[in-house]
A and B are shown apart, each in its own frame.
Chain A
Amino acid sequence: MTLPTPLSDAPLVSDWIAFDDALVEVRTGRVELGQGNLTAIAQIAAEELDVPLAMIRIVSGDTTRTPNEGFTSGSLSVHQGGMAVRHAASAARHLAIAEAAKLLQCGSERLALTEGRILRDGAPTSLDLWSMAASIDLSVAVAQWSDPKRPDQRALVGKPLARIDLPERITGTPFVHDLSPDNLLHGRPVHPPSVGARLLDLDLDALRTRPGVVAATRDGSFVGVVADSEYAAIRAALWATNHATWSDEPSAPADPVAAIAGSQESDEVVHEAGTLEGHEGQSSYEVTVSRPYLSHASIGPSAAVAQWQDGRLSLFTQSQGVYPLRDALAMVFGMPGERIDVRHWPGAGCYGHNGADDAALDAALMARAVEGRPVKVVWSRADEFRYAPLGPAMTTRASAFLDETGRIAGMSVAVNSAPHGNRPGRNGAPNLRAAACLEKPFPFPRSKDVPLSSGGGADRNAVPGYAIANLRASKRIVHDLPYRTSSLRSLGAFTNVYAIETLMDAIARDRDVDPVSFRLNHLEDPRAVAVIEGAVAEAGEPFGREREDGTGWGLGYARYKNRAAYCAVVVRVEVDEAVRVTDVFAALDAGEIINPDGMTNQTEGGIVQSISWTLKEALTLEDGRVTTENWSDYPILTFSEVPAIQVRLIDRKDEPPLGCAEAAQGPTAAAIGNAVRDAIGVPVNHLPLTRDALIAAISE
């Protein structure tokens, strides 16, 4: 049996499980980002140990207590973290049964566990997990004892259980923003206006006399102000922003997307099969699509609470990776990681690498100025738009040629993109905003992006998922632009699927084949076929039918990362002044379903976010600065604009469970692009699909 990777670093049952306080404590390195993954993980543990969900206490993302599982990202929480817990919980169960067999002097086949109590031949005994806790040695290898239930034995997994954390999130105070330890002070950073800007002058003494200010700290070009009330900190930071002078000679192309498209930096072939040579003269097709820089645009700006005491730093953070953040902070402060305690505390949804880690360093730098007192930092909305890592702009060119029978014989996909992989610790540097402008700086290194072997960055889903003999995918990472970028949900998949799937439609249209059968003709994997047929059936087989003027239908399909969840999306649009998505039908196969309602919720969310990216979103950049400051500069989809959404789930009980939060983005965008083309008769290749983009496409 091959065990999930997290178990190689944390191989013991006791790394994951404890019986305590009439509860089962489950320790996971994964963190809850508002997607229900901790409920799913708790559900998995409860299943193996046959306890109700309410008896599971989850401890997550805490460098003092939980295994190191790196980042909670890439839709791997359940696939890796959940499976590690499945094995650990299974091992704990078998250890408990073995101990009970010893104590009751009977064969273990006569014993069962229910609600934590041991039954013998179905009858209660005096034993339960907690009465035996002292004598069960959990510090043994998971691998030795794990024997998870068979799919047909599972009762709890697969049920739409309610999220364990939801009521508190709707009416309570679960967020890092809400922490208020004794003696709390409030800090605000004063960010340099661009990545390269350096502070020339700021009168710190004057700043210190502003109302409520307790400390003002400067290290290189990093400035932080700490005050006794939140509003005082906000006002003092505003004063400092208005009084600071910076050396800033940013030069950047006026049209960054065009600069990325035209970049001459070196490229790399990431996948090749067969050959694309020698097919000159065969009918060929090509599309080039682009998306602008996007913002993660969390509803709650990045926040953290930090405190220094006796040479130790302790931090509460919404970071996606407490251990990588700890290591990055250790680098910045030149101290061993063992003296830094990092605990995850919920934030608003982050959708990838946003400002969460940066805010943690900001808080740590400010707390250093008021040793012994906790400092809470909450970024402003403008900080969040301007200073958090951006979702990279990119362009993708997809081209194909056909054989005599009209099948695609070869396809080539070439991606130009700003880098997607700049998380803390990646490429050997802290990658934290403030770290790059300290007196002793830790500059942002040249990003290597994310390699295809780890799911790909710019090249994620650049390899078409169709049965095509000759394929090539390449990526060119463009480092020249002065904007800091990193992972935004689905990474390159969003744009690459848009390119490949609009190309598929262009060919089908030209060959007079309907978009569904054209795709099915190029697919061998029955799971791919099933999601496409599922989405099309859910939509009521709209293709090839009469439709009203100004409306269109479109289909998009991809298997996320070419190895995770399968997703097909059908949309209906109405186009007049602007594009309006009225209906969405999706089918998803993410292997074994742990929690169907959670999966549907994630898929709906991915669809809505993708519609918003596709129709509306673009950051504005000028001379190396992000000029977007507020929601009025960066509209996102509103309640009135959200369509009706139907999601059909396909359960594969014998297949490994796969993440689902990032599966729908690419297919949704592609379906919208294809539907818009269906409605207006011309393709619109450059996102977002605003009124201006449509007019430009029509007049071309």
Chain B
Amino acid sequence: MAEKWPTVTKDSFDGSKVEILGETYEPGKPGPEAPGLWRNKLQDRKQMLKYLETGLRYWYAKEGYGSEKRKNPA
């Protein structure tokens, strides 16, 4: 592994040195069409509506999470 991935040496809790995995990103700059265009992953209407119910559940899930949906409001 050490050959394939860069590692760095850090201090452990007990003061000893440990070698851990270092930065794994590729050097250089992403182009304008960089991966990050996550919205393309939602392909059809079903997926899109499902994402609204989960990812943006604060507004779009019937039963949900969040401070405003708890049993005993503050």
Q: Do A and B come from one complex?
A: no
- Chain B residues at the A interface, C-beta cutoff of 8 Å: none
- Chain A residues at the B interface, C-beta cutoff of 8 Å: none
